[in-house]
Amino acid sequence: SKTYGAIRLSNLNVMASGISSISRTGAYAFALSGDNRVTVFDQHNRAIRSIQLPRGLNISQIVYNGSSLYIGLIGGGCKIFSISDSKLTDMPGIDAHSSILTLYQGSQNILWLGTDGRGLGQTYSYDPVFRSVLFSFPVRCFSEYKKGEMLVGTKGAGLQILNTATCSLSPLASES
């Protein structure tokens, strides 16, 4: 985990020793500290809320989706933190022993989850179904690519192209 010194956010100077990650989703930015405190910043980079998550969680990444924080866990599972009532629940359909190493908020409010050796999955805010694309390599990152496609970074299989309509994968190098 990286440690940042002073981070300048608008007129707020945050002394951020122990910050393990900083991410932006939509109009909000999130700074996660080593003690699992999440500081939420608005679109003007002003701290608007501090959320203390349980210290026993080994957090890989946090993504804001609607009114909740989705929290990927190294060692297994994904948690949902409801911002309105501060409740922390397990994400339905996610194996508690499956490490979620990366999360990505895609278009149409689809949340993509990259696992350590159990493929990748997607959730829809309008449909509780969880779909998996299984392959034997750990997923490390996502990025939009072309219309209807995403790049999926893996450990051991390189960059893969995911067709989001068919959920099929192909190596990036084989594209002509």
Q: Alpha carbon 61 to chain centroid distance?
A: 5
> 33, exposed or middle or buried, with CB in 10 Å at 0-12, 13-18, 19+?
buried
Whether 139 contacts 102, CB under 8 Å = yes
The pLDDT value given to residue 16: 47
| H/E stretch holding 149 | strand 149-154
pLDDT of residue 76: 86
Rounded Cα distance, 139 and 116, in Å: 6
**Mind listing the pLDDT tens digit of every residue in the chain (176 residues)?**
333 333 444 434 344 447 777 777 777 888 888 888 888 888 888 888 888 888 888 898 888 877 788 899 998 889 999 888 889 999 887 878 888 888 888 777 778 888 887 777 777 655 445 556 666 678 888 888 999 899 999 888 889 999 888 888 889 875 55
> pTM to 2 decimals?
0.61
The structure tokens listed for 48 are 């608007």
CB 112 within 8 A of CB 91: no
